[in-house]
Amino acid sequence: MAIIGETQFLERIQFFNGQRLFKGDLQTLEAFNREMRWLHNQSLHQPGVGSGYAVVGNIGDRQVVISPGYALDSEGREIILTEPHTEPIPPVADNGSGGSVFYLLTISYPADSDLEVAETRAGICTEPGVVRLREDPVFCWVRLNDNDANRQPVDENLKVRIKNSLFIVLGQIEVLNCKLKQPISTAQRRNAQLRKRPRIACGHAQVQWNPFPASATSGARVGELAFSATINTGAAKFQATPEYIARIEGERLFPGGPATNQQPILVDALLNVAASQHDSFVVQIFPFSTRAIDFSKVLKSWQVAWLGIEN
């Protein structure tokens, strides 16, 4: 059963003295450790550049230089560059109308078939076999359309791979006459480390108010009426219980009666937030008014606006 991405199974590999080992045994052990590491990366990090991968390219250059770095894709796979890499820019003159051509520079996790053989070794009574592959990222220039407002990849397949964070963007270039017209921009890249800032979400809820006994712990001493409602905040996708702030939205002034000289009735309520959870909270209200009024009509016009702050 898949947990996340390509994690298909969870088996602890065991060995015993005198066991005859085959290639599959050791490769299964390697696959287990790799999938557990990928699962860790998916669970605790977002796709993007973790460190390094600085890209340098100035006006008039015909190539960009990428420094060593570490990045993660959406499947938790590590994309590692250990030595500086020089990547030639696409040799295009213009977009066919005399204008510049725009590209994204991306990296992706290499398949075994993409890697250079680093070492082969002779077997016992068998042909030599590959034992080490040199792991380097796959670099790709992705052509963008000429729409100034919303430049998107021309190739739909590459667009999907970038959107799904299988291709990690390092920067964007503008090419004219086979060289850079502007220094490379790195504003398009994404950081794999989440910024340490609170998550804030808000919403409105049409609620069904239910009467409940007012308790001394609520801190309210207004009349004998009290109502509560459960507010669902699941759409905010909080991971921990946030601090909730809530208020009542709706009418406060209601007609005073049939007589033309009667003043409108002012209605309001004290509010208390209780039973907070990561996906819901209970709001309690203690209404009061300047004169007697049917509160069932009032409650129909009231909804709850809320704000959640997750540190």
Q: How confident is the model over 269-290, as pLDDT tens digits?
A: 889 998 888 889 999 988 888 8
Name the pLDDT band for 257 (thresholds 50, 70, 90). Answer: low
Beta bridge partners of 49: 71, 191
Whether 303 has a pLDDT exceeding 80, the answer reads yes
Name the pLDDT band for 134 (thresholds 50, 70, 90). Answer: confident
Residue 80: predicted pLDDT: 93
Whether 6 has a pLDDT exceeding 70, the answer reads no
Name the pLDDT band for 220 (thresholds 50, 70, 90). Answer: very low
As a whole number, mean pLDDT of residues 173-184 equals: 92
On whether the pTM is more than 0.75, the answer is no
Average pLDDT of the chain to the nearest whole number: 85
Whether 219 has a pLDDT exceeding 50, the answer reads no
Residue 84: predicted pLDDT: 93
As a whole number, mean pLDDT of residues 142-169 equals: 90
Reduced 3-state DSSP string for the chain:
CCCCCCCCCCCCCCCCCCCCCCHHHHHHHHHHHHHHHHHHHHHHCCCEEEEECCEECCCCCCEEEECCEEEECCCCCEEEECCCEEEECCCCCCCCCCCCEEEEEEEECCCHHHCEEEEEECCCCCCCEEEEEECCCEEEEEEECCCCCCCCECCHHHHHHHHCCCEEEEEEEEEECCEECCCCECCCCCECCCCCCCEEEEEEECCCCEECCCCHHHCCCCCCCCEEEEEECHHHCCCCCCEEEEEEECCCEECCCCCCCCCCEEEEEEEEEECCCCCEEEEEEEEEECCCCCHHHHHHCCEEEEEEEEC
User: Domains in the chain, ordered, with CATH?
Assistant: 23-180 (no CATH), 199-310 (2.60.40.2080)
